[in-house]
Amino acid sequence: MEQAAQEDVPFQSDHLKEMFVRQQREREVQLMLNRIQLLEQEEEKVRNNIKKQTHKADQLMKMKEYNEQQYKNKLRHREMVEQQIHAQKQKIKNEKTFHEEVLFNNRAN
């Protein structure tokens, strides 16, 4: 394409032709530099997004661990309360049985 552009433009001298080619190459270099700069900016945005998402994922994992621990604590507490209730019921049952035996023995005498 560069040759086609050079051939399409009539030049009066080799010096003008060289100037045109040099200017064209400078424009191409500048376009490439601009493109590189845009790509670097995009890369920085992507890196920032990755950092944000990583931070968010870390926070979610911490929240999940906290919630799991809270759930386990609730289960342990519930189990402890159920054991206490069972022990109380057993104690009441034993006391009731004892009182019934005492009453039965008192009536028998």
Prediction pTM value: 0.55
* Average pLDDT taken over every residue of the chain: 90
With helix as H, strand as E and coil as C, how does the chain read?
CHHHHHHHCCCCCHHHHHHHHHHHHHHHHHHHHHHHHHHHHHHHHHHHHHHHHHHHHHHHHHHHHHHHHHHHHHHHHHHHHHHHHHHHHHHHHHHHHHHHHHHHHHHHC
Q: Cα dist. 73→16, 26, 62, 106 in Å? A: 85, 70, 16, 49
Per-residue pLDDT tens for 59-80?
Answer: 999 999 999 999 999 999 999 9
- State residue 1's pLDDT score: 46
Phi, psi of 13, deg, nearest 5:
-150, 165
